A and B are shown apart, each in its own frame.
Chain A
């Protein structure tokens, strides 16, 4: 047989459709090679190169988006990746976060004496992993993306060579992340065992043809459960969130913001792909699990956030609680899984991810500046007096915090409103009310940071602290985040439409 067919025919490849991945990959390779072979460049060259790559990815995505709107969605590379608006939305979100994070990293690295292209290369690689996770049409491909993302994260977390906490967080993340990958892989094996394929389209087709009889579906249910555990770890859903505060606190602050934005977007993209697109037949079985996860996540995340005294840990727990809100959107989407009209669940979750990513990058950029040399001044008291010494910075942080609390005329309110609306549309009133009450608990946390910035009286010794410096590019990143937050707060219509387009499949 082999002799009779000597030519190996690979799948046909639509190279232009793959260009977002190719740009990111090319940029990563160039950075690594140039960084290894050439003498050291002025450090901001690396940052600007990364920003350029991110912007180029976004621009290409806009063209591709148009192509999809005109020509319809398809799959790429022999059914390995999906080429639809959903993919584009995720890619743009990741690229935008990448740009903002890269802007705020340069000054950080210089302050800490860690200049070099490595972190940027890791950002780019992690972004590739994230894009693959959000566009995968095959569980194995998705797993590859997950691993690319995770391994980059493990290294990035430990990348501050002078801080022992950074090393600690890298190891913690690595061990726990390894566990969760194993769960996920086991889940893939079980789904494969039942459906006979790891390809989403084939999984759906196979369950369309035969649905395992009741009482004989333990295998697939176990598979779904294990997949949820693996994804739940990545999105930091309670009870799989225990790594979050430690890793967020220990990792270099720009890396933390990258994890909070790109990491979360990728993981939720993967979760929606797996649950809604690959396993719609089991939505009645996993929906209660998602419901429970969502409720636990918002409540525990908000409550734990309130009792912290370290701002990075506060924001870590607040990111847990925001993950709970996105899970509310996922739960709403699960009501419609497999139906022709996918409803508002997926768009609301996508919108939340995008808006939250910008908020989290902006807030952590402020924390990056306040943490001062050594990256250790992240206690609540380090923010004391910021309103007097840096009113604009404090104002920006206030806007970002109010947005996270869900105050109207900021993007955070639009995000919350979208998710609640999706939940209410599916008659999930209880989850909507629990979510809102939890968000009030979380509001207390944001108020604490604001009080520290604006109101708490200075104490003796404050004057001896290192002054907070606001470097240009980090300042630009914060300004962009704040501007976006307010813009979307006032004019959200265009973004809502864009997110809604993500579920329209022609």
Chain B
């Protein structure tokens, strides 16, 4: 299409911004912030332009750029974007400026912002890599900034949480690295060694080999998603991370897991993904129910939102492994929607913490009386997270559920109760925090400030717009999902069931 290396820029602009911020003088923090904001806004603008220029009739990878990087190992800087990754890039591009503008670290702005931008570069890189080695590099490198963000700017138990997060994820990656190398060598045959995703997807693995390899990849992604029972790092990391860290962690970083399952797990090893689907569907449904029940029990507002992520991500996994074009499209949609609504929720919880220095639900009361606009915004975001029709959360979950019903009926039936549970824990939390008469401590709760409103407005806008008019997104996602399913059909004898219209 165009030879302008936009995807490379998506990675390099924030990386260069990180270096510039790190090298900047410490004496003028406001300039540092402006510099960081500029580079993240520029990256965001690039991602918006990418969405505009994206050709929605083309299901293949677009804006591909490919350069040889490490010749002896056959590794190249191979980037490309399709409908599955497109909106993840947009989400990353939009959330980072919001986080940088909307949250203030309590100390050392410069380092905080440098780590943030490095994180953005790593995440962008993960979503555009079409080379297994390159993907692994980005997938692993994002751990470092996130580790330092949690450990350096988090709350009481931050070192414990950060270390747990690092080690859990790294353990998963350990298996994936062996898997990546084994995939390349087994697919090699007589040809040259390559880590190129598109080349490797053409290879046929022996059934049992493919299954082993798939599990090596899936473990890493399952930790990242996180899929029950590998989720235990998540509540700690989310709760202890600074607000900005939580937003990115929940909003973008967890998506690396679901994205990886789609892009690498299902695409490279369709047979194994089909074969093990009952396992994943079951774990996904357990995650939905367990996450919802655990969220209900939480006393800490941030922990509640963290557990709700476990439940929401369960829907995405359900959608992926139910493997109909509707369920998968729903899963990809839910990736984005969860990022937007949970990101906004974490921002709101962070604002509550800034005002009251507590996250305990029991300490908060009657905020609606003193801060009605704040409560209103919280309500909209919360309803979107519940999945109320007309807001974005509904589209993804609804598509997942109707799509999955064809191929995974009973799992879907159980999963659907998760929607009710989501209403339970969020509404109950809302009731305890916002309703009633405010006590002395909460009577002085300040109303939403202009800057906070400016930060939340785009997110609320996206929530409403996508909820009312999801077509532009669906149009771009669906062709790529269809192509993925065709690929599965080609490699296995799977035939996607089509919904049968019932005569009225």
A residues contacting B by CB (< 8 A) are 402, 407-409, 413, 417, 420-421, 424-425, 429, 432-433, 436-437, 439-440, 443-444, 447, 451, 454-455, 492-493, 496-497, 500
Known: A407-B144, A451-B151. A436 touches B177 (CB 8 A): yes
Q: Cβ of B133: which chain A residues have Cβ within 8 Å of it?
A: 417
CB under 8 Å from chain A, chain B span 144-195: 144, 147-148, 151-152, 158-159, 163, 166-167, 170-171, 174-175, 177-178, 181-182, 185
Across the interface, name the chain A residue whose C-beta is closest to B139.
A408
Q: How far is the CA of A436 from the CA of B151 in the complex (A)?
A: 24
Report how far A497 CA is from B152 CA in the complex, Å: 40
- CB within 8 Å for A409 and B137 given contacts A424-B178, A425-B185, A455-B159: yes
B71-A493 in contact (CB<8A): yes
Give the nearest-CB partner of B171 in chain A: A440
- Note all chain B residues with C-beta closer than 8 A to A443: 166-167, 170
Cβ of A504 to closest chain B Cβ, rounded Å = 13
Interface residues of chain B: helix, strand, loop or mixed (majority): helix
Given contact pairs A443-B167, A444-B167, A455-B152, enumerate 10 new A-B contacts (beta carbons under 8 Å): A420-B177, A420-B181, A424-B181, A440-B174, A443-B170, A451-B159, A454-B151, A455-B159, A493-B69, A493-B71
B70 touches A496 (CB 8 A): yes
Any A CB within 8 A of the CB of B494:
no
Give the contacting residue for B166; candidates A417, A447, A454; CB below 8 A.
A447
Main secondary structure of the interface of A (DSSP, over half): helix
In the complex where A402-B144, A407-B144, A444-B163 touch, is A493 in contact with B182 (Cβ < 8 A)? no
Most buried by A among B140, B167, B175, B182: B182
Residues of B within 8 A of A451 (CB): 151, 159, 163
Contact of B174 among A429, A437, A500 (CB under 8 A): A437
List A contacts of B177 (CB < 8 A): 417, 420, 436
With both beta carbons as reference points, the residue of chain B lying nearest to A455 in the complex is identified as: B151
- Asked if residues B73 and A421 are in contact (CB atoms below 8 Å), the reply is yes
**Roughly how many angstroms separate A114 CA and B181 CA in the complex, as a whole number?**
50
Alpha-carbon distance A447/B69, docked complex (angstroms): 30
- Contacting B137 at CB < 8 Å: which of A408, A432, A500? A408
Which of A408, A413, A429, A447 has the largest count of B CB atoms less than 10 A from its CB?
A408
A-B contact pairs, 12 of them (CB 8 A): A408-B138, A417-B177, A421-B73, A424-B185, A436-B178, A443-B167, A443-B170, A444-B163, A447-B163, A454-B151, A454-B152, A493-B69
Does B141 interact with chain A (Cβ within 8 Å)?
yes
For residue B140, which residues in chain A have a CB less than 8 angstroms away from its CB? 407-408, 413
Could you tell me if A497 and B174 are in contact, using CB atoms closer than 8 angstroms?
Answer: no
When C-beta atoms are compared, the residue in chain B nearest to A436 turns out to be B174
| CB–CB A500/B178 < 8 A | no
Q: Which 9 A-B pairs rank lowest in CB-CB distance, beginning with the nearest?
A: A436-B174, A408-B137, A496-B72, A424-B181, A432-B178, A493-B70, A440-B170, A440-B171, A408-B140
- Report the minimum CB–CB distance from B60 to chain A (whole Å): 28
Q: B175 contacts A408, CB within 8 Å?
A: no
Q: Is B136 positioned at the interface, with any CB of A under 8 Å from its CB?
A: yes
A444 to B70, CA, bound (A): 29
Query: Measured between C-beta atoms, what is the minimum distance from A138 to chain B in Å?
Result: 32
Residues of A within 8 A of B159 (CB): 451, 455
A276: shortest Cβ distance to chain B, in Å?
A: 21
Determine how close the nearest CB of chain A comes to the CB of B122; give it in whole angstroms. Answer: 10
Given the complex of chains A and B, what is the CA–CA distance between A454 and B149 in angstroms? Answer: 12
- Please indicate the chain A residues that have their CB under 8 angstroms from the CB of B147 in the complex: 447
* B143, CB-defined interface residue at 8 Å: yes
Query: A489 — nearest CB in chain B belongs to which residue?
Result: B137
Interchain CA distance A421-B183 in the complex, whole Å: 11
Which residues from 373 to 420 on chain B have a C-beta closer than 8 Å to any C-beta of chain A?
A: none
- Taking a contact as CB atoms under 8 Å apart, the answer to whether A496 and B171 are in contact is no
B141 to A, closest residue via Cβ = A408
B72 lies within 8 A of A497 (CB): yes
Distance in angstroms from B336 CB to nearest chain A CB is 27
Chain A residues near B144 (CB-CB < 8 A): 402, 407
Q: In the complex, what residue of chain B is closest to A448 when comparing beta carbons?
A: B163
Contacts of A429 on B, CB cut-off 8 Å? Answer: 178, 182
| Residues of B with C-beta under 8 A to A496 | 70, 72-73
In the assembled complex, the Cα of A440 lies from the Cα of B137 at a distance in Å of 16
A88 to B325, CA, bound (A): 58
Residues B143 and A407 in contact, CB atoms below 8 Å apart = yes
CB distance from B281 to the nearest CB of A (A): 27
Q: In the complex the two chains form, is B151's CB within 8 Å of A409's CB? A: no
In whole angstroms, what is the CA distance A443 to B136 when docked?
17
- Residues of chain B contacted by A433 (CB below 8 angstroms): 174-175, 178
A451–B157 Cα distance when bound, in Å, is 13
Pairwise interchain contact A436-B175, C-beta atoms closer than 8 A: yes
Q: A177 vs B143: C-alpha distance in the bound complex, in angstroms?
A: 41
Query: Cα distance A454–B166 when bound, in Å?
Result: 16
Q: How far is the CA of A500 from the CA of B71 in the complex (A)?
A: 12
- A417 with B181, Cβ < 8 A, contacts A408-B137, A455-B151, A455-B152 known: yes
Chain B: which residue is nearest A422 at the CB level? B181
